[in-house]
């Protein structure tokens, strides 16, 4: 069995990659992918602790989290599509429509 610490390290690395993408990327689609990376890092934690505890509750939580990530991606892509129709661009630097 893989030790929990290794899973946590993998999760931390994935989280950092996601945070880096969130801070650097300018395309809204790539920002959305970075958010998914962060969510998947949390899922790895859920599954790792579920394996360590010997209970399935963590895996069920991960399933819920995956469903929530799908919902978030659907809404994000819809907003992205709307934004592209308005501005003909998906550059987040240009998304000043909702700024106070």
Partner 1 sequence: MSLPYPSMGLPSIGLRTLRRRRGIQVWLAAIVAIVLFAVLALAIRATPAWIEQAGTPNDVESITDALFGPQVIPFEVLGVLLTAVMIGALVTARPLTVHGSEETSLVHPNLSLPAPAGDLPAQEIPGSPLMAAAIEEVHG
Site of interaction with partner 1 (CB under 8 A): 1, 3-5, 8-9, 12-13, 15-17, 19-20, 23-24, 50-60, 63-64, 67-68, 70-71, 74-75, 77-79, 81-82, 85-89, 93-94, 96-97
Least distance in Å: CB of 40 to partner 1? 16
Least distance in Å: CB of 35 to partner 1? 15
Instruction: Identify which of residues 27 and 60 has a Cβ nearer to partner 1 in the complex.
Output: 60
Cα–Cα distance measured from residue 100 to residue 96, given in angstroms and rounded to the nearest whole number = 9
* CA angle in degrees (0–180, nearest 5) for 15-57-69: 40
Instruction: Identify which of residues 19 and 35 has a Cβ nearer to partner 1 in the complex.
Output: 19
The answer to whether the beta carbons of residues 67 and 48 sit under 8 Å apart is no
Cα–Cα distance measured from residue 73 to residue 8, given in angstroms and rounded to the nearest whole number = 25
Residue 27 main-chain phi, psi, to 5 deg: -80, 130
Least distance in Å: CB of 39 to partner 1? 15
Instruction: Identify which of residues 29 and 59 has a Cβ nearer to partner 1 in the complex.
Output: 59
As given in the structure block, the two tokens for residue 57 are: 């509750």
């Amino acid at each position: 069995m893989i030790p929990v610490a290794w899973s946590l390290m993998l999760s931390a690395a994935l989280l950092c990659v996601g945070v880096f993408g969130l801070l650097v990327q300018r395309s809204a689609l790539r920002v959305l992918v970075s958010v998914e990376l962060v969510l998947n890092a949390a899922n790895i934690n859920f599954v790792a602790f579920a394996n360590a505890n010997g209970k399935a509750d963590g895996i069920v939580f991960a399933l819920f989290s995956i469903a929530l990530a799908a919902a978030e991606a659907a809404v994000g892509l819809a907003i992205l599509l709307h934004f592209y129709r308005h501005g003909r661009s998906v550059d987040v630097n240009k998304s000043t429509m909702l700024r106070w």
